[in-house]
Amino acid sequence: MDNDVLQPSMIARLLEEISWEKAVKYRAGGRGMENVLTAEVLMGLDLLPRDQFFGQVILTCSGAVATRALLADQAESAVMSLLPGDMSVNAAGAAGRKFIVQPDAIVTTPDVFTFVEAKRIRTSSFQPEQLAREYVAVMSNAAERIPLLFLLGVEPPVSVQGLGKLSILEAIRTHLPAVLLRAGDIEIEETELLERIDDVLCWISWDGLAAAVSSQLAAFSCGDSSTDAAIGRIGQQVMSAIEWHS
């Protein structure tokens, strides 16, 4: 990814993505489309007080307990990048440079590198190798940071094309050997990759995210009525987006 040429705002990145697609699909405001929903929700979480909202959403997720706790602790310093473009499955290997994935978002803090894969609320499934590719990609691209693969709008078992419902572990394990063969050496053995899945994967449903935001809105007050009202409006937009796309 060439971060030097990425537009700074989520709306700019969404429009960049739309420019490569048939825009007629967005005529109904992009209703039901994961990119639009992800942009609306992440914009809200980006603007809301981080510890109380984004951090709490992360703590509400399942999986990767220790890494989620660290990400939540560093929520105020998180940088969110929507639709950041192509990412090599093997950041350092020549064989992997043309073997790419496309994150829906990347969230970085001083110590955590988070690859966000979002699914729309309406019926959707993973491509056969998708989770294995994304898992290898986050492990390869995290560099000195701790890797986290965040499945947004997902609850296991997950639907995988041609394979039906699988656990996340099985969805990755089934295709990991083929992905590693194509990616080349990422300097992590297959056995270690399999052992670390539980420490790297986390997920939350859209309903779970909405419930976390709603709970925090009900409890939030900074003592200034105008600021509280502004926080309420942003939080309500997040919840309304999830309801509208359902």
Residue 244, amino acid:
W
3-state DSSP assignment of residue 139: helix
Q: Share the mean pLDDT of the chain.
A: 92
Using a cut of 0.75, tell me whether the model's pTM lies above it. Answer: yes
3-state DSSP assignment of residue 201: strand
Residue-level pLDDT at 78: 98
Residue-level pLDDT at 16: 82
Angle between helices 190-200 and 65-73 (to 10 degrees): 50
Within a domain: 16: no
Within a domain: 233: no
Within a domain: 192: yes
Q: Are 35 and 15 in contact (CB under 8 A)?
A: no
Residue-level pLDDT at 43: 95
Q: Is the pLDDT of residue 96 over 60?
A: no
Average pLDDT over residues 218-242: 97
Residue-level pLDDT at 219: 97
3-state DSSP assignment of residue 130: helix
The per-residue pLDDT for range 181-214, each reduced to its tens digit, is 999 889 999 999 999 999 999 999 999 999 999 9
Q: Is the pLDDT of residue 94 over 70?
A: no
Give the largest Cα separation in the chain, rounded: 58
Q: Is the pLDDT of residue 97 over 90?
A: no
Within a domain: 33: no
Residue-level pLDDT at 1: 47
Residue-level pLDDT at 225: 97
The per-residue pLDDT for range 16-52, each reduced to its tens digit, is 888 888 788 777 788 888 999 999 999 999 999 999 9
- Interatomic CA distance for residues 114 and 103, integer angstroms: 10
Average pLDDT over residues 129-153: 97
Residue-level pLDDT at 8: 66
Residue-level pLDDT at 222: 96
In order, the DSSP letters of 39-57 are HHHHHHHHHS-TTTTHHHH
Within a domain: 64: yes
Average pLDDT over residues 222-230: 97
- Interatomic CA distance for residues 188 and 194, integer angstroms: 10
| Cβ neighbour number for residue 8 with a 10 Å cutoff | 8
Domain range for 180: 60-204
Residue-level pLDDT at 98: 82
CA angle 193, 194, 199 (to 5 degrees): 80
- In the chain, where does DSSP find H-type helix? 10-18, 34-47, 54-60, 65-73, 130-141, 168-183, 190-200, 206-219, 225-245
- Nearest to residue 181, comparing CAs of 89, 102, 117? 89
Least confident of 6-15, 29-38, 175-184: 6-15
Average pLDDT over residues 62-78: 98
Within a domain: 138: yes
- Nearest to residue 138, comparing CAs of 91, 69, 97? 91
Higher pLDDT, 16 or 72: 72
Looking only at the bridges linking them, the beta strands covering 201-204 and 146-152 are parallel
Within a domain: 76: yes
Structural domains counted in the chain: 1
Residue-level pLDDT at 15: 79
Within a domain: 108: yes
Residue-level pLDDT at 17: 82
Higher pLDDT, 3 or 94: 94
